[in-house]
Amino acid sequence: MNEIIFMIEESPDGGYSAEGLGFSIFTDGDSIPELKKNILDAMHCHFDELATNIPKIIRLHFVREETLTYA
């Protein structure tokens, strides 16, 4: 495995949440820079430092939901 994808969503209470797709990795942050730092921290906690299967590429997939009304 060479990469991992995180799905990023805006939280209803403010900030952002991230989920590592295919892994049990979840984190959040109040801003994008804080979220990126927390993702790296979560990766460090999830994968052993000496493991050879640590993904080298981390992709951030931003999902934004909007609602339109048609009148």
Contact present, 16 and 70 (Cβ < 8 Å)? no
At 40, phi and psi to the nearest 5?
Answer: -65, -40
In sign, the C-alpha dihedral spanning 37, 40, 44, 45 is positive
Global confidence as pTM: 0.85
Give the residues across from 6 on adjacent strands.
20, 60
pLDDT in tens, 10-67: 998 899 999 999 999 999 999 999 999 999 999 999 987 667 778 989 999 999 888 8
Neighbours of 54 (CB within 10 A): 15
CATH of domain 3-63: 3.30.2390
Domain ranges of the chain: 3-63
Please state the φ and ψ torsions of residue 35, each to the nearest 5 degrees: -60, -45
Please, which pLDDT band fits residue 1 given cuts at 50, 70 and 90?
Answer: low
